[in-house]
C-alpha cells in the first residue's frame, strides 16, 4: 500500500501530539516522588501511604485503559484522547486543596482513569496504525515523550514546590496542562482504516494467518511486562527520596532524575529503531538486560558522577523496554484488536508499576532502608528476562512445527 505524502506526513504530526500528551501524563506520575517529602512534612503521612497514591493511579490507568480500548477498536481514538486532553489538568488542580489521604487517592485515581488512560494507550494504537514502515521508530519517538516528561516535569515540580509550596505547584501544573493539552488535541485525526494496513507490513500478523494466537502472544508479553515494570518502578518512584536520604539536595536529586529521563528519551527512540532492524523480541530482551543490570547498584553508590552514569544506563534500558514491548504487540497481533491488545499488555505493566512503587515505600517503612526495595526490583527484572527468553523459545518451536 502506497500512501500519499500528506497522509504520511500527518502520521508524524500524530506522533508529535502523542509525544506531548505522553510527556504530560507520564511526567505527572514521575512527579509523585517530588511531592512525597513535602506531604510527609505537611500531614505526617508515611512514604508507604503516599506510595499508595501512585499505586491507585497506575491501577486506575490499567483497568480503565482496557475499557477505553474496547471503544477505540470500535470507534477510533480521536474523541477519547480529546476527552483526556480537556480534563487531564483538573485532578492536579483539585490536589492543590487536599486535606486527607482519601482526597489524595481519589484525585490520583481520576487522573489515571480519565486523564492518563485516554491520552496514552489509545494514541499508541493510533500511531501504530498510521505507519506501515518504521513502526518501531514512530512508536519509539512517541514514547520518548514519556521519558522527557518524566524528567522535565518533576524538575519543574521541584522548582514550583521550592518557590511556591506544594499546593501552588499542583495548581500551576494543572492549569499548565489544560493550556497545552486541550488545543493540540484538536489536531488529532483517525488513522487510515485497518483494511488499508492489512497488507502493509511483512512483520504484521494478518487476519487468518497461521501462527500463535493473539491470546497467546498477548499473554506471554503481558507476563514479561508485569515483572519488567515492577523492576523499573522502584527506581522511577523512589530514586529522588533515596538520593536525598544519601545527602544530596532535592535540586541535585532532581537533576539526576532529569538526566536519567533524558537518556530515556534517547533509549525509546533507540529501542524503536533496533526493533525495526534486529526484531522486536531481541530488542526487548537487550533493553531489559540493560535495565536490570544496574537496578541494585543505586543504594550502594556514594559518588555523584557514578550515580549519573548508572542513571544514564538505567534510563536507556528502562525506556527502551517500554518502546520495544509496544512494537512486539504492534507487529504480532491482528490490527482489528490492536488497541485492546496494547491496553491489556499495558494493564500488566501498570500492575507491575503499582506493585513496584508500593513495595518500595512499604519495605522502606519496615526496614528504614531502600536496599530491600531495590533488591526486589532486581529480582523482578531477572524474572522478566527469563520470561522473554522462554517466549522466544516458544516462538522458534512454533515456527519449526
pLDDT of residue 210: 58
- Would you state the pLDDT for residue 400? 67
Quote the domain boundaries for residue 30: 5-399
List the CATH number of the domain containing 249: 1.20.1250.20
Q: What is residue 375's predicted lDDT score, i.e. its pLDDT?
A: 93
**CA 271, CA 281: separation in Å to the nearest integer?**
11
CA distance 117 to 123: 10
Q: Give the integer Cα–Cα distance in Å for 44 and 104.
A: 14
Q: How far apart are CA 154 and CA 139, in angstroms?
A: 23
Q: Domains in the chain: how many in total?
A: 1
Integer CA distances (angstroms), 59 to 66, 112, 154, 346, 354, in order: 11, 8, 21, 10, 7
pLDDT given at position 204: 47
What is the pLDDT at residue 5?
43
C-alpha cell recorded at residue 302: 556514594
Between CA 137 and CA 147, with CA 142 as vertex, the angle to 5 degrees is 110
The whole-number pLDDT of residue 384 equals 94
Contacts of residue 300, defined as CB under 8 A and 6 or more positions apart, other chains included, come to none
Output the tens digit of pLDDT for each of the chain's 401 residues: 334 445 557 888 999 999 999 899 888 887 887 888 889 888 888 877 887 887 788 888 888 888 888 888 888 888 899 998 998 999 999 999 998 999 999 999 999 999 888 888 788 888 878 877 778 888 888 878 887 887 788 889 988 999 999 999 999 999 999 999 999 999 988 877 544 543 344 444 444 445 688 889 999 999 999 999 999 888 988 888 899 888 888 788 888 888 888 888 888 888 888 888 888 899 999 999 999 999 999 999 888 899 999 999 999 998 888 888 888 888 888 877 888 888 888 888 878 887 888 888 889 888 888 999 999 999 999 999 999 999 988 888 877 65
User: Would you give the DSSP letter of residue 191?
Assistant: P
In whole angstroms, how large is the CA radius of gyration of the chain?
A: 20
- Comparing CA positions, the residue from 296, 315, 290, 358 lying closest to residue 150 is 315
Give the predicted TM-score (pTM) of the model: 0.72
Q: Please, how many CA atoms are within 13 Å of residue 128, restricted to the half-sphere of its CB?
A: 35
Burial of 43 (0-12, 13-18, 19+ CB in 10 A): middle
Amino acid at each position: 500500500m502506497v500512501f500519499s505524502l500528506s497522509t504520511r506526513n500527518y502520521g508524524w504530526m500524530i506522533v508529535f501530539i502523542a509525544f506531548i500528551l505522553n510527556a504530560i501524563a507520564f511526567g505527572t506520575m514521575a512527579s509523585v516522588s517530588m511531592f512525597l517529602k513535602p506531604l510527609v512534612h505537611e500531614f505526617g503521612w508515611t512514604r508507604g501511604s503516599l506510595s499508595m497514591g501512585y499505586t491507585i493511579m497506575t491501577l486506575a490507568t490499567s483497568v480503565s485503559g482496557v475499557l477505553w480500548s474496547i471503544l477505540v477498536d470500535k470507534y477510533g481514538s480521536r474523541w477519547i484522547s480529546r476527552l483526556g486532553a480537556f480534563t487531564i489538568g483538573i485532578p492536579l488542580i483539585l490536589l492543590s486543596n487536599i486535606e486527607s489521604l482519601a482526597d489524595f487517592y481519589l484525585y490520583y485515581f481520576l487522573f489515571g482513569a480519565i486523564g492518563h488512560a485516554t491520552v496514552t494507550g489509545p494514541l499508541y494504537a493510533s500511531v501504530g496504525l498510521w505507519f506501515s514502515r518504521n513502526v518501531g521508530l514512530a512508536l519509539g519517538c512517541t514514547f520518548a515523550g514519556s521519558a522527557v516528561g518524566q524528567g522535565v516535569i518533576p524538575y519543574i515540580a521541584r522548582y514550583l514546590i521550592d518557590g511556591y509550596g506544594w499546593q501552588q505547584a499542583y495548581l500551576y501544573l494543572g492549569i499548565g496542562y489544560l493550556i497545552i493539552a486541550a488545543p493540540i488535541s484538536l489536531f488529532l485525526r483517525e488513522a487510515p482504516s485497518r483494511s488499508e494496513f492489512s497488507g502493509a507490513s511483512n512483520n504484521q500478523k494478518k487476519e487468518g494467518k497461521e501462527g500463535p494466537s493473539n491470546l497467546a502472544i498477548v499473554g506471554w508479553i503481558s507476563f514479561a511486562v508485569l515483572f519488567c515494570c515492577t523492576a523499573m518502578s522502584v527506581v522511577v518512584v523512589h530514586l529522588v527520596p533515596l538520593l536525598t536520604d544519601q545527602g544530596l539536595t532535592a535540586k541535585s536529586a532532581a537533576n539526576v532524575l532529569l538526566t536519567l529521563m533524558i537518556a530515556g528519551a534517547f533509549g525509546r527512540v533507540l529501542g524503536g529503531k533496533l526493533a525495526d532492524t534486529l526484531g522486536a523480541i531481541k530488542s526487548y530482551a537487550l533493553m531489559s538486560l540493560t535495565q536490570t543490570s544496574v537496578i541494585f547498584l543505586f543504594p550502594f553508590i556514594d559518588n555523584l558522577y557514578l550515580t549519573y552514569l548508572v542513571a544514564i544506563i538505567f534510563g536507556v534500558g528502562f525506556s527502551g523496554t517500554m518502546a520495544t514491548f509496544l512494537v512486539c504487540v504492534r507487529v504480532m497481533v491482528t490490527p482489528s484488536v490492536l488497541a485492546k491488545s496494547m491496553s491489556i499488555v499495558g494493564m500488566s505493566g501498570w500492575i507491575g508499576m503499582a506493585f513496584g512503587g508500593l513495595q518500595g515505600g512499604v519495605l522502606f517503612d519496615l526496614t528504614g532502608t531502600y536496599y530491600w526495595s531495590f533488591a526486589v526490583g532486581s529480582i523482578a527484572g531477572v524474572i522478566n528476562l527469563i520470561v522473554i527468553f522462554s517466549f522466544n523459545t516458544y516462538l522458534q518451536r512454533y515456527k519449526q512445527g
